[in-house]
């Protein structure tokens, strides 16, 4: 367990008030994760697919992957600020109407990875929903091609699925 800031850091007043400190457990929700996440993590390992505190991902990306973009954000004090669509997903997960925190989304089985695109200074965000969401809300083709992209997760959130 490590202490980590959870909630949102998008900079909006409502988002900044929802941030809280919580205890993070990397293994929390592991039994609820998708089969695709477990299989891919077994192949790639924890260096490529982290389970660590979501608010520390930029710092981790800078340190583990040598990501210049993340190093700049961290240096400028924006450890947990992402592009608008990704930030919208993260903020929605942390909202009281969803999981209440990023730790809550993690505990519910959601997994997230941001793979750096070193040449472009950007990231490919990958999302693995809990297995229950996979079985109830994704087509067979989507389930076979996990992870989901940010736009698809936004679509799931906008349809107000109770996951």
List of residues 6+ apart from 22 with CB closer than 8 A: 3, 4, 6, 101, 103
Tokens encoding 120: 């472009």
Model pLDDT, residue 22: 58
Model pLDDT, residue 121: 85
pLDDT tens-digit series, residues 61-105: 999 999 999 999 999 999 889 999 999 999 999 999 899 999 999
- Give the span between the Cα atoms of 115 and 88, in whole angstroms: 18
pLDDT in tens for each of the 163 residues of the chain?
Answer: 334 644 433 333 333 333 344 578 888 999 999 999 999 988 887 767 888 899 999 999 999 999 999 999 999 999 889 999 999 999 999 999 899 999 999 999 999 999 999 888 899 999 999 999 999 999 999 999 999 999 999 999 988 665 5
Model pLDDT, residue 21: 46
3-state secondary structure of 115: strand
- Give the span between the Cα atoms of 155 and 83, in whole angstroms: 17
Model pLDDT, residue 17: 31
Kindly report the pTM of this predicted structure.
0.83
Model pLDDT, residue 8: 37
Q: Are strands 2-6 and 20-24 parallel, antiparallel or unpaired?
A: antiparallel
Q: Which of 105, 79, 108 is nearest to 93 (CA)?
A: 105
Model pLDDT, residue 47: 67
Helices and strands, counts by H and E, the chain: 9, 4
């Amino acid at each position: 367990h490590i202490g980590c800031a959870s909630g949102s850091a998008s900079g909006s007043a409502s988002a900044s008030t929802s941030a809280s400190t919580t205890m993070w457990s990397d293994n929390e929700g592991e039994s609820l994760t998708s089969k695709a996440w477990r299989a891919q993590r077994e192949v790639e390992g924890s260096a490529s697919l982290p389970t660590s505190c979501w608010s520390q991902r930029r710092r981790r990306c800078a340190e583990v992957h040598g990501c210049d973009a993340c190093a700049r954000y961290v240096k400028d004090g924006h450890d947990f600020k992402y592009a608008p669509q990704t930030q919208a997903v993260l903020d929605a997960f942390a909202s009281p109407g969803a999981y209440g925190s990023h730790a809550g989304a993690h505990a519910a089985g959601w997994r997230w990875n941001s793979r750096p695109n070193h040449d472009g200074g950007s990231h490919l965000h990958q999302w693995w929903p809990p297995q229950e969401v996979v079985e109830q809300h994704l087509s067979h083709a989507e389930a076979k091609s996990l992870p989901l992209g940010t736009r698809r997760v936004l679509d799931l959130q906008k349809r107000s699925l109770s996951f």
